[in-house]
Structure 1
Amino acid sequence: MIARGSLATVLLVVAMHTATASAQTPLAERAAVLRASLAPPSESLAEDRGDFYRRQLLASLERRQDLQRALADARRLAVRTEPAAPPLPAGVLALDDLRSELQQLDTTLAGGERRLAILKTEREATAAQLAQQVAALRVLTETQAAAAPLALARLETELVESATAELDLLLRLVDLQQELARRDRAVLAQRLMQANQRGRVAVSVHDAAAIEQRLRVQAAQLRRRMADAAANRERVRDELQAAAMAPASHREWLKERLANADIDLELGREALSNLATEQAAWQIALRYYRDEDAAALVEARDQGPVLVERLRRRREFLAALSEQLLARIGTLSAAIAQAPTAVTTPDKRALRAVFEQRLHLVQTAMSDERRLADLIARMRADFDERIGHAPWPERVRTVLARLRSGLARAWNFELFTVAQTIDVEGRQTAVPKAVTLGKLVKAPLLLVCGVFLALRFTAWGERWLRRRGSDEGSARLMRRWLFALLVAACVLASLALAGIPLAAFAFIGGAVAIGIGFGMQALFKNLISGVLVLVERPFRLGDVIEVGDLRGTVVDIDLRTSVVRDGDGAETLIPNSALMEENVKNVTFRSRLSRQVLGLVVEAASDPRIVIDAMRVAASRHGQLAEKNEPVVFLDEFADNGLRFVLHYWIELNAGVDRRRIASDLRLMILGAFEEAGIRMAPPSRLAV
């Protein structure tokens, strides 16, 4: 028995010998011999195996001839002089064309590398199959098999050998094409580097007009396409409604046509969006090349990855949809092939045509997405290369632009989003609204400015009211309440101007809101009571009121409390809710006149008329008593120690009027009058123990 290593060596030698023998025979002569030996083609499924191998071998020989001619042409191209370098791009469009050629060469080189890897794998598998065929042929030769099986084995071995030689030629051809593509790319890359080193590319009027014209034509074509799709959709929809009694297969065909029209409209809208993106990209490029705007460079570097990622996701979706359509088309094709004469075959063919039309739409959209992504990639690559060769003033401007862009991103950093409900023609629509860092900073600044202006305005209003004759207390009260209303308006206005919806504060949970409600119940109660005090005005600043055991003058009415100053000068803060709920005696509610009572006891032997006249005359001489109401003296009672007289007098409880001082003055004046009239005060009462 032959060892494994020896057997492999023998098989390789036999394979090489077979390949050499085949190479010695001209391919054209061998192809002519095979073509003459072939039987006429037949539609029968039971074709002769020998004819099948001969047909396959003939096709392989013809492909080898074509590959030899293509390889000879490629070699002639390879031995020529270096390719002529293209001229330096004179405008932005020429620069983009140069980059587009480079991009296409990169794609070609990447595809060639993948093809080489696949061909090498197939070459190894075919070589292994050739070794097996040579071994099988050797066994048949040694065993002196019948002529027919031996001839069939030789024919199959020749077919595998020809396939191996075909892969060898294809490998050499692809490798040579890769070499030519790399050489062309090197020339284009050198030219592009020279263009970048030359400086900024000029943007001519022709370039700007050509770009605008190109985008305008594309937009017009897309709008016309969407109009046709909308009209087609209406027609198919009418046909579907009219075909209510049609067979199910026909209705399914109409539904798929309607779906095609919907997809065409959707892809048209996406193409319009891509066109707007392309227009924005060209505007950024023109700003950078023509206006030397460093912010355009930063904007391109920031927005480019986002756009490329969006386009990538869109292409992935379209690729998945394309695979689904290919699967459905394959299923329908298999069903048609299995039963070509079936009754449902025409409907299946029509349905397959609809899916093929949809596949064409999807692949066109994928091509458009890829074209836009390539344009954005070219622009970003050009910007990156140019900033690498830019002089230092331009680099400084770029750094400053990046700094401004970073600050803008920080200012517009989205902290969270809230759902805001808006009314659109009677329909409630939830719209997400972002709350950014800038809005949170802007709102307090606007609030501070608004509060400052409200403070200045209310101060001016208070001075104006006082000049118009309003009292100081009322003017101050109006100022405070107006300031409170203006502050509330400033809070709402600052939130609106900053773009922060009130729904942003909905994160306060129900339990927290209820807890805050209970905790602030007393506060809101007092605030509402303060509003009622302002509206109803049961007392005003300067009024003398009595609340329980407290008697004093109202000196201030605040949002939550009111301040009452008693006779001792002490100020008491009383909640507004207490003033609204309890019994409050307003001494000066209708009038500021207040009657005061002063009593005294004289000896029983005193003449009552003289006492009354002395007291009335003494009281009338006091300058702070009310002039409208004269003082009155009454003999109140016969006390056990003498006669009790009471003086009733009226005073106006205005600011600066102290009723206790007036009472003291009257007592002193009455004592003086009694001394002149010889009236003596009664001794203290002696109560029995």
Structure 2
Amino acid sequence: MEFIEQVKHYFNIHLFNIADHPLSLGQLILIPIVVIVGVVLTRKTVRITSERLIKKGVQPDLVHLVKRILYVVAILMLAITTLEFLDVPITAFAFLSGAIAIGVGFGAQNIINNFISGWILMWERPIKIGDFLEVDNVKGRVEAINTRSTRIRRVDGVHLLVPNSKLLENTVTNWTLIDQRARTSVRVGVAYGSDCNLVRDLIAQAVNEQDGVLNEPEPVVVFDDFGDNSLAFEVYFWINASIEGQLRNIRSNIRFRINELFNENNVVISFPQRDVHLDGSLTLIQPNEK
């Protein structure tokens, strides 16, 4: 009993005051314990919640939003609980928090702007995790939407951090906002004198043989122009492509197939050429003539 009384005595030793409220040694020791237990419980709760949402097939960006909300709520609850243990009313920090808010507002406008923009991105979802974006002529896939910035993995594998406010205030091309369908085209020129109907049919055959090309909308072959050196044809078609590399691969496969079909049917792919006409009044002099 004496030991317990001594422990209570030491725990009740007054150290200092916070907003006219005394702080004892026991309360000071209790603070890190409460914080550690709160952090552990928060992480475990967030992890279990995220795993259950993922198993139910919830989209990654919604899971990310739920995690952020849980963390914010947990931090607020932990702060309030800590103050309750210290017997310090929240109103004691009203003036101090107001002064801090004003100082932060003037000194960290960009940070606050990006923070609010990050929550808007996660809430309204104009950009989601996994989307393929084009920002300032840079293309890549969204990997994470964080509080201050969004992490994008470029097509060359390099990671790019874009401020959240930039994604809301500037023009951003989202290739996969609604679906993954994208239209592209392949252009080819054939020599003058070629059978245009045959060329059209061969190009259509090359496109329709590709597995990635959609049947609806149907591919369209257009006789585009009478060029300087060729008859220009262009075929337009739709594919399901989540990244630009898939577009390039399908276009490449179509060009390979067009070249094979043209060779089999004696269709010549044009190249720049010039016809030179000599005036009959000119006389050609042989090198050995004087």
Same fold (TM over 0.5): yes
State whether structure 2 residue 260 is matched by structure 1 residue 672: yes
Q: Which residue of 2 aligns with 1:530?
A: 118
Task: Please tell me whether the aligned partners of residues 132 and 242 of structure 2 are also in contact (alpha carbons under 8 angstroms).
Answer: no
- Give, as a single letter, the amino acid of the residue that structure 2 aligns with 1:674: F
Q: Tell me the TM-score normalized by structure 1.
A: 0.36
Between the aligned partners of 1:580 and 1:475, the Cα distance in structure 2 is: 19
1:544 aligns with 2:139: no
Aligned to 1:434: 22
How far apart, CA to CA, are the structure 2 residues paired with 1:609 and 1:663?
Answer: 22
Aligned counterpart for 1:414 among listed residues 9, 12, 15: 15
Change (3 A) 1:661 1:447: farther
Between the aligned partners of 1:655 and 1:445, the Cα distance in structure 2 is 49
TM-score normalised by L of structure 2: 0.80
Instruction: State the Cα distance separating 1:481 from its structure 2 match.
Output: 1.9
C-alpha separation in 1, matches of 2:205 and 2:27: 76
Q: 2:12 is paired with a residue of what secondary structure?
A: helix
Task: Give 2:76's aligned residue.
Answer: 489
Q: Does the 8 A contact of 1:454 with 1:486 survive in 2?
A: no
Q: Deviations over 1:265-303 (max 9, x none)?
A: xxxxxxxxxxxxxxxxxxxxxxxxxxxx53xxxxxxxxx
Counterpart mapping for 1:287-326 below 5 A: 293-294=1-2
Q: 1:550-589 alignment to 2 at 5 Å?
A: 550-589=138-177
Cα gap change, 1:438 to 1:567, in 2 (>3 Å): same
Q: Name the CA shift for 1:602/1:433 in 2 (closer, same or farther; >3 Å).
A: same
Question: Any idea what the Cα deviations from partners look like across 1:510-551, whole Å, max 9, x if unmatched?
Answer: 876644332322111111111111222212222233323223
The residue aligned with 2:235 is 647
What is aligned with 2:279?
A: none
Contact 2:12 2:25 in 1 (8 A): no
**Aligned counterparts of 1:490 and 1:562: Cα–Cα separation in 2:** 27
**Unpaired segments ≥5 residues, structure 2:** 275-290
Q: Which SS does the other structure have where 1:658 is aligned?
A: helix
The aligned amino acid for 2:57 is G
| Correspondence 1:583-622 to 2 at 5 A | 583-622=171-210
Could you say which residue in structure 2 is the equivalent of 1:469? 57
Question: Residue 637 of structure 1 aligns with which residue?
Answer: 225
- CA distance in 1 between counterparts of 2:184 and 2:176 reads 13
TM-aligned CA deviation for residue 663 of structure 1: 2.0
User: In the alignment, residue 16 of structure 2 is paired with which amino acid?
Assistant: L
* AA matched with 2:85: A
State whether structure 2 residue 101 is matched by structure 1 residue 498: no
How many residue pairs match? The answer is 273
Which one has the bigger helix percentage? 1
Q: Indicate the residue corresponding to 1:480 in structure 2.
A: 67
Cα distance per residue 1:12-37 (max 9 Å; x no partner):
xxxxxxxxxxxxxxxxxxxxxxxxxx
Matched letter for residue 481 of structure 1: R
Shift of 1:617: 1.2
Question: For the Cα contact (< 8 Å) 2:221–2:235, is it kept in 1?
Answer: yes
In 1, Cα distance between equivalents of 2:246 and 2:227: 30
Matches of 1:476 and 1:660, distance apart in 2: 33
Distance 1:540 1:685 in 2: 50
- Percent sequence identity is 29
Which stretches in structure 1 are left out of the alignment for 5+ residues?
1-292, 295-399, 419-431
Give the CA deviation at 1:506: 6.2
Q: Distance in 1 between matches of 2:121 and 2:107?
A: 23
Which structure's CA Rg is the greater one?
Answer: 1
Aligned equivalents of 1:684, 1:567: Cα separation in 2:
34
Which residue does the alignment assign to 1:341? Answer: none
User: Which digits, 9 at most, give the CA deviation of each residue in 1:394-437, with x for residues without a partner?
Assistant: xxxxxx35642453134xx332131xxxxxxxxxxxxx433444
1:457 partnered with 2:38: no
CA distance in 1, matches of 2:117, 2:145: 11
Measure how far apart 1:650 and its partner are. Answer: 1.2
Change (3 A) 1:509 1:558: closer
Question: Is 1:658 the equivalent of 2:259?
Answer: no
- Quick one: which amino acid aligns to residue 104 of structure 2? I
- Partner deviation per Cα, 1:580-630 (whole Å, 9 max, x = no partner): 111222233233211112222222222222222112111111112234323
Distance 1:462 1:580 in 2: 27
Shift of 1:639: 1.6
- Measure how far apart 1:503 and its partner are: 4.9
8 Å Cα contact 1:620/1:630 also seen in 2: no
The 5-angstrom pairing of residues 100-499 of structure 1 reads: 293-294=1-2, 400-401=3-4, 403-410=6-13, 413-418=14-19, 432-471=20-59, 473-499=60-86
For residues 611 and 435 of structure 1, do their structure 2 counterparts lie closer, same or farther at Cα, with a shift above 3 Å needed?
farther
Partner of 1:132: none
Evaluate the alpha carbon distance shift between residue 571 and residue 644 of structure 1 in structure 2; reply closer, same or farther with a 3 A threshold. Answer: farther
The one-letter amino acid paired with 1:408 is F
Residues 553 and 638 (structure 1 numbering): CA distance in 2 closer, same or farther, change over 3 Å?
Answer: farther
The alignment yields a C-alpha RMSD, in angstroms, of: 2.9
Specify whether residues 585 and 653 from structure 1 end up closer, same or farther in structure 2 by C-alpha distance, changes over 3 A only: same
Flag the 1:597–1:444 CA change in 2: closer, same or farther, 3 A: farther
Cα distance in 1, alignment partners of residues 9 and 243 from structure 2: 64
One-letter identity of the residue aligned with 2:36: V
Q: Which has the higher contact order (CA 8 A, sep 6+)?
A: 2
Deviates more, 1:503-512 or 1:659-668: 503-512
